[in-house]
Structure 1
Amino acid sequence: MDEYYPWLILGHILKNRNAISRCLIERFSDPVSVFSSSMDDLCNVEGMTTDIARDIKSFRHPEEKIMDEISWIKGNSVRFIHLNHPDYPDRLKNINDPPLYFYMNGNIPLKGSISIAIVGTRRPTVYGRKAAEMFSAELTKAGFTIVSGCARGIDSIAHRAALEAGGLSIGVLGCGIDVAYPRENRGLMEEISQNGAIISEFSPGTGPEKWNFPQRNRIISGLSLGTLVVEAAEKSGSLITARFALEQGREVFAVPGNINSPYSGGTNNLIKQGAKLVENTLDIIEEFKELLTSELKHGIKSNSTQGLSLSEDEGIIYGLLGLQAKHVDQIIKESGLGTQRVIQLLPELEIKGVIEQIAGNCYIKATL
């Protein structure tokens, strides 16, 4: 019998009843022992019902659909990681309802990785986009692997920023591992699989059904030491990831947002409820400093002009800017440098790549 076969059969019978799956493997060690156990022993497992136990005992081999799936896995060089696999991440295994198994395209060991999740709205503002880029790039340089969900918006921005910073990223899908969703992210998914991993607990060919995404969110948080919510409305799906993180005993961080922005209501509420307010990467790194080397944890100096070749006046303007856009008139007023001098320096700072002009004669600090 193929090694994958009993795992896939048990997974199909239990239909993502992951807490029961975990209890069964803890009790009987492996699926073969589950199938050979008595009805009474099965019914004594936490969460087990008579109907589920009967389904397990009444199963008869072979199952053609499962054999086809095994052929597909092997034919497409997809890795199949089950609860007893040596590469199954301990951090994920320790949540209440870990996936019985998952499919993986990638070249990094998930076990032992220092990972942090970055999630948020699918429709970010300029502020949210720049915040996601900054945190993802700087956390990557500090030694973190960035985990997210390959969705539009903050997820995609976080993945790309990590890859552009020369780091690793993990994408967790709410569909089959062979399904590109959204379609425009097919190239991004391929790049992640070459510089990290794409994983899914859903069978190949599974479409992006809306109920899959809350389920996959527990894996995003489960793989991670903490979850950073960059920008989220009050009913954003990313808040589900934050809730899972709390239930799993992981850290939750939130980027404060404009009180008038509908895309910041969720993050601001998280902060009210006890999530750590973060203004720069060091706010996150200090929670995990014992896991990082001295060189890495002291190598990030957010919002600093150190290493930048700026004149005194350029430094004044640069210091005034952040991820929240400022109109040129506000910059002139706050800098005290005078209109002509500010107008002269803004293009020079753009050429140096340290600030960016956005719509309406407004400027923000560039992500370095």
Structure 2
Amino acid sequence: MAKSWLQLSRLHGLGPAGILKLLAFFGEPKKALQASRQDWLKAGLNNKQARAIEQDLPDVSADLEWLSETGSHLLTLHDPNYPPLLKGTSSPPPILYVKGDPELLKHPQLAMVGSRNPTRSGADTAQSFARHFAQAGLAITSGMALGIDAASHKGALDVDGLTIAVAGTGLDRVYPARHRALAKEIADKGALVSEFPIGTHPQAENFPRRNRIISGLSLGTLVVEAAQKSGSLISARYANEQGREVFAIPGSIHNPLARGCHQLIKEGAKLVETAEDVLEELAPLLSSVLNSTTVRSAETPENRPVMDKEQRDLLDAIDYEPTAIDIIIQRSGLTAESVSSMLLIMELNNFIASEPGGYYLRLQGDQ
């Protein structure tokens, strides 16, 4: 049974759309593979696609070997455990390779995406929001890329929450390679997912394609930081086409990584300032899933460090966008030595964040 699905998925030139045509016409992969050229054309394939099936069927030994490993699973479109939200999209992957717990794919999820090169503030925001959402009962779904993706996965893992990573490669490899430890932790505590056969190398065209899975698995997609031509906007577009909620966190008008988010908001995405903004929007869909208690930050007013008057005065000299240390010194009227010492303490207490080039910015929730 699995072998026929694997062979069908590995045929060149079919793609999800071609496979879906065959499944609609023949019902099962095995019947599709054994049919005649005339029937393939009746099913809606073109001549090139029909010729691909006429050739020797692809070798799936690598896939079968991977499936024999502990924690490796294959979900087909006909499997009762196939995630229903994804199945309801216009182009669901015929098969999904899963490393970890396949049951998690049916759990309510929120996609979090953004820049691969975020600001320190953007990465911190993603990680903090992901903690909130995971504590509230949502699984965090992203693409395990550098930057916002990784911060989102880590935020969920910080609080022993659920997280799902959708890969743009075969699950026998990790991309980027530096995320091997993260991938292992996600597989152990959540799930790694891919539609691509075992052995598939990173290819640029595969990453936009996998974005439809990230959004398709999720009730909504939150974009944290994105430039105007960011790949994250592809995920947001897919989410919109799939009838899912699209959320965006605004930023400074001077930050190029906020422009993609601002564009989404102009186009109708919901502006997000706090995690509760997202949870309240999704609440009607999640009344039986979300934890009933109000989600609170890991740092509560009772245990968070308190600033003295001098530190608060210095904080007033720092903007929510990167502020040069020379400007901070000028505004505060303090000596450079005093400012440097206080900034270090305030950064350690998470009231501010440093940026390259001697810039600092206030973090949300510092009041």
Instruction: State whether TM-score is above 0.5.
Output: yes
- Structure 2: 5+ residue stretches without partners: none
CA contact (8 A) 1:87 1:110 kept: no
- The answer to whether the aligner puts 1:191 opposite 2:185 as a matched pair is yes
Shift of 1:269: 0.7
- The answer to whether the aligner puts 1:281 opposite 2:311 as a matched pair is no
TM-score normalized with structure 2 length: 0.84
1:221 is matched with: 215
CA contact (8 A) 2:315 2:362 kept: no
Q: Decide which moves more: 68-77 or 117-126.
A: 68-77
Corresponding residue pairs, total: 358
Shift of 1:305: 6.4
Call closer, same or farther: CA 1:31–1:319 in 2, change over 3 Å: farther
Per-residue displacement from partner, 1:292-337 (whole Å, max 9, x unpaired)?
Answer: 4597254125799654567696897899799655678999999x9x
CA RMSD in angstroms comes to 3.5
Q: Give the % identical residues.
A: 37
TM-score normalized with structure 1 length: 0.83
Call closer, same or farther: CA 1:312–1:356 in 2, change over 3 Å: closer
Pick aligned residue for 2:201 from 180, 184, 207 = 207
- The answer to whether the aligner puts 1:358 opposite 2:354 as a matched pair is yes
Shift of 1:181: 1.0
2:45 is matched with: 48
Taking the aligned partners of 1:295 and 1:174, their CA distance within structure 2 comes to 30
Q: Decide which moves more: 291-300 or 160-169.
A: 291-300
Shift of 1:348: 7.2
Per-residue displacement from partner, 1:169-206 (whole Å, max 9, x unpaired)?
Answer: 11111111111111110000000001100111111121
Taking the aligned partners of 1:28 and 1:257, their CA distance within structure 2 comes to 51
- The answer to whether the aligner puts 1:140 opposite 2:134 as a matched pair is yes
Call closer, same or farther: CA 1:78–1:218 in 2, change over 3 Å: same
Q: Which secondary structure state, in structure 2, belongs to the residue aligned with residue 264 of structure 1?
A: helix
1:112 is matched with: 106
CA contact (8 A) 1:149 1:220 kept: yes
Per-residue displacement from partner, 1:127-157 (whole Å, max 9, x unpaired)?
Answer: 2112211211111111110011111111111
1:11 is matched with: 9
Taking the aligned partners of 2:300 and 2:31, their CA distance within structure 1 comes to 61
Q: Which amino acid aligns with 1:153?
A: G
CA contact (8 A) 1:121 1:236 kept: yes
1:30 is matched with: 28
- Structure 1: 5+ residue stretches without partners: none
Taking the aligned partners of 1:355 and 1:312, their CA distance within structure 2 comes to 9
Call closer, same or farther: CA 1:332–1:298 in 2, change over 3 Å: farther
Shift of 1:110: 3.1
Q: Which secondary structure state, in structure 2, belongs to the residue aligned with residue 110 of structure 1?
A: helix
Pick aligned residue for 1:87 from 68, 81, 90 = 81
Shift of 1:42: 3.7
Q: Which secondary structure state, in structure 1, belongs to the residue aligned with residue 107 of structure 2?
A: coil
Pick aligned residue for 1:71 from 61, 65, 68 = 65
In the TM superposition, what are the counterparts of 1:193-272 in structure 2 within 5 Å? 193-272=187-266
CA contact (8 A) 1:214 1:240 kept: yes
